[in-house]
Amino acid sequence: MTLVVRQATAKDVNIAVPLLLEAGEHLLVSIFGNGEHDDAFGFLHAAWLRGNGQYGFENHWLACHNDEVVGIISCWHDHLPDNFDRDTLLAITDYYGLDMALDVVMRSQRYSASLNSPMALELCIGHIAVVASARRKGVGTAMIRFMEHYARTLGKFALVLDVEQSNRQALGFYHALGFREQQTTPPFIQLAKGIPPLM
């Protein structure tokens, strides 16, 4: 399968947001929907169109086959804009209103305590999903390879990601690509893979 990985745009919203939600459905529905799938979807749709912040299109890349989107991926690192976290919070408060936004932030903090921020020489990847019809065809691997190259351009020496301990299929996939367990903070395992620098 010939793939191109490109920067996402606002126009990708209808294919990208379902994939984004699928990438961490249990977590995202819990945080942004308080258990309601449609509520989480509505927030992610609005946040995507804003562009900025953690769930905006500006921080996502899409794998495409014959111009058809077949995968999504995102990343975080210490070179993100100074207003990245503020924009993420604004997306939440603008969508939910201040009172409900506080509840969302509280739910988020329950999980974020188990997630580890990337260190200075690490690129953290996430929001990874592949459409059902394109699975086991190298899409996930191609997106990881793209992020390895991107990490090198940023001067990073490792990719890191967090996976739920119960997601044995994902753990097997990442182990096959050379990721190894770095630390465990239930319910997540952080995996890491070293990246040779550009010569």
Domain presence at residue 197: no
Q: Number of folded domains in the chain?
A: 1
Mean pLDDT of 146-156: 94
What DSSP line would sit under 122-137, residue for residue?
EEEEEEEEE-GGGTTT
Domain presence at residue 11: yes
Task: Of 35-49, 74-88, 158-172, give the lowest mean pLDDT range.
Answer: 74-88
Domain presence at residue 116: yes
Q: Give the residue among 127, 124, 43, 125 at the shortest CA–CA distance from 90.
A: 43
Which residue is listed with tokens 């996939």?
173
Is pTM beyond 0.75 here?
Answer: yes
Q: What is the predicted pLDDT for the residue at 197?
A: 72
pLDDT in tens, 115-148: 877 888 999 999 999 999 999 999 999 999 999 9
The CATH number of the domain where 80 resides is what? 3.40.630.30
Domain span at 82:
4-156
Domain presence at residue 8: yes
Mean pLDDT of 61-81: 93
Domain presence at residue 149: yes
Beta strands in 21-157 (DSSP E): 60-65, 68-76, 122-130
